Amino acid sequence: MTATPPRLVEHTGVPGPTLALTFDDGPHPDSTPALLDVLARHGVRAVFCLWGEHVRQHPEVVRRTVADGHVLGNHSLHHDDLSTWDDERVEADLRATAAAIDAAVPGVAVPWFRAPFGAWGGTPQVAARLGMRPLAWSLAVADWDPPPAADELLERLERGVTPGGVVLLHDGGGDRSATVEAVDRLIPRLLAAGWTFTVPA
């Protein structure tokens, strides 16, 4: 009998007007610290899905991310499409990424895996064997290249958020200054409207 694939997590698991912010493709030497400043100022925790090669290049940013209380995810070593790879190759990639993260922040838990491009294939099963759950999303606002202006991103976020939603954004992979600004403006607006921020459970 074939095992049931792990369920993709697309919801915070918390009822009511809650939201989880998740960020892919970092760490970035400029955008990630700027975003961490924003999150610290507003008292918000988030999930950072890390690109392994970027972790090797900027381990100090990963250390700050963890020190600030955020949660980590494995986002593969080179951001390849893993959906057509065999299990052995996927496992080797995820293990190499995990090793890079562990070298930067020894012993820190990495409970989540997010497939590059959202191309899952058989990766959730492999990730599950390595102790990670597959983290998907309920809202993506396309802040990747070419990045929209902050005003446009803010409008997309405000229009698209739903209670318990998991939002996909990026702190790496290109110029993310508009994302940083949009997040800085979104959080106080939602807090004033009675929302809370959490991480997926």
Residue with tokens 């090669």: 53
**pLDDT for residue 2 is more than 60:** no
Query: Closest Cα to residue 43, out of 201, 200, 196?
Result: 196
- Joined together, the tokens standing for residue 29 give 């030497």
DSSP readout, 164-186? TEEEEEESSSS--HHHHHHHHHH
Catalytic residue from among 24, 93, 143, 171: 24
pLDDT digits (tens, 9 = 90+) for 163-189: 999 999 999 998 899 999 999 999 999
CATH class of domain segment(s) 18-190: alpha beta
What one-character DSSP code corresponds to residue 118?
G
Residue 5 vs residue 82, higher pLDDT: 82
pLDDT band at 201 (very low <50, low <70, confident <90, very high): confident
Catalytic residue from among 28, 58, 70, 170: 170
145 among known catalytic residues: no
pTM (2 decimals)?
Answer: 0.97
pLDDT band at 118 (very low <50, low <70, confident <90, very high): very high
Domain boundaries, the chain: 18-190
Distance CA(168)–CA(178), nearest Å, equals 14
What one-character DSSP code corresponds to residue 139?
E
**pLDDT for residue 147 is more than 70:** yes
pLDDT band at 190 (very low <50, low <70, confident <90, very high): very high
170 among known catalytic residues: yes
Distance CA(38)–CA(53), nearest Å, equals 25
Distance CA(145)–CA(108), nearest Å, equals 31
3-state helix, strand, coil in the chain (%, to 5): 40, 15, 40
